[in-house]
Homo-oligomer: A and B are copies of this chain.
């Protein structure tokens, strides 16, 4: 019986380190390879040896080191990176949840980083994730230029961009049908008999915001809406700002009877103000969010979790054909949500 020597970094010398196969081997008096065989499902090992090794492993609390295993030739990591701007924002949290759910089914783990709407920070995060050799990246772009990733992409690294496309990079992406969605919102208001309509949006430098504003302008023309009956209000970042803007709008233009909120935060502010005003103004929101029913707001079926699942799906597809030069730019269709208000039945009459 040959006893493997205890190396200076063994758990005996350094209890803080995780025990290694060498530790297990040393204790059970076998070679490292034999210990390895036992841990991986006892291919061709005598029962006695297997027992000894298992006992030793249990004793020291041995746990295989995936890092070391994945370092081996050609082996792929099962980590996927995700870069979003803010995890506390329900939209991005939903996105992450949807992606995590789908990836987890494939045995892939998700590492999430938040860019905080800072292009430079985002670039560093992507760099860091690439250094960690993640299997692929799902990114909601904050930056203006992704050409620095061109080389990675060309080499066959898998990227999926979500919600907006990546400027200056040919890569897979999933975006929402902003034009169709806004048109549906407008048509909904028109069907409800609205004649003077306003749209509230974030800064036009944000891609989705400008897309939605442009879509509105086009739809407005094709629906033969007179410019006098239309208000476009931009640069709204928060629910609070949306509330104030709505108040001002309705004060100065009492004829307005329909409002389109281009995202969930704006919708909350608009809804609150309109509800408080007791005016008969119809509100429709681009995003679906939990308390929309309560505020009497119609919404599209634009569900962030669905978007997350779709982006995970696209990434998985890309894994199968990493070097394929044809990119998929999926556009998620959205339509008005059937109004199956969860709480319709809870109205209490006395």
> B113 and A112: CB pair below 8 A?
no
> B348 and A279: CB pair below 8 A?
yes
Closest CB in chain B relative to A52 CB, distance in Å: 19
Decide if A332 is an interface residue (CB 8 Å cutoff): no
Number of interface residues of A (CB under 8 A): 83
Decide if A145 is an interface residue (CB 8 Å cutoff): no
Which listed residue, B61, B74, B97, B111, touches A110 by the CB 8 Å rule? Answer: B111
Chain B residues positioned under 8 Å from A151 (CB to CB)? 61
Decide if A93 is an interface residue (CB 8 Å cutoff): yes
Binds B, one of A43-51, A64-72, A192-200, A220-228: A64-72
Question: Given A276-B343, A291-B294, A343-B269, A63 and B130 touching (CB < 8 A)?
Answer: yes
Which listed residue, B9, B132, B290, touches A74 by the CB 8 Å rule? Answer: B9
Decide if A1 is an interface residue (CB 8 Å cutoff): no
List A185-222 residues whose CB lies under 8 Å from chain B: none
Question: Given A243-B342, A346-B246, A111 and B111 touching (CB < 8 A)?
Answer: yes
Task: Say how many copies of this protein the assembly contains.
Answer: 2
Question: Given A9-B73, A87-B97, A109 and B109 touching (CB < 8 A)?
Answer: no
List A69-99 residues whose CB lies under 8 Å from chain B: 70-71, 73-74, 77, 79, 86-88, 90, 93-94, 96-98
List A100-121 residues whose CB lies under 8 Å from chain B: 100-101, 104, 109-114
> B63 and A71: CB pair below 8 A?
no
Closest CB in chain B relative to A234 CB, distance in Å: 19
> A109 and B104: CB pair below 8 A?
no
Known: A16-B323, A66-B131, A244-B346. 7 other contacts (CB 8 A): A15-B155, A61-B151, A64-B131, A87-B100, A239-B342, A240-B342, A269-B343
Residues of chain A whose beta carbon lies under 8 Å from any beta carbon of chain B: 9, 11, 14-18, 61, 63-68, 70-71, 73-74, 77, 79, 86-88, 90, 93-94, 96-98, 100-101, 104, 109-114, 127-133, 151-152, 155-156, 239-240, 243-244, 246-247, 250-251, 254, 268-269, 271-273, 275-279, 290-291, 293-295, 305, 322-323, 342-343, 345-348, 350
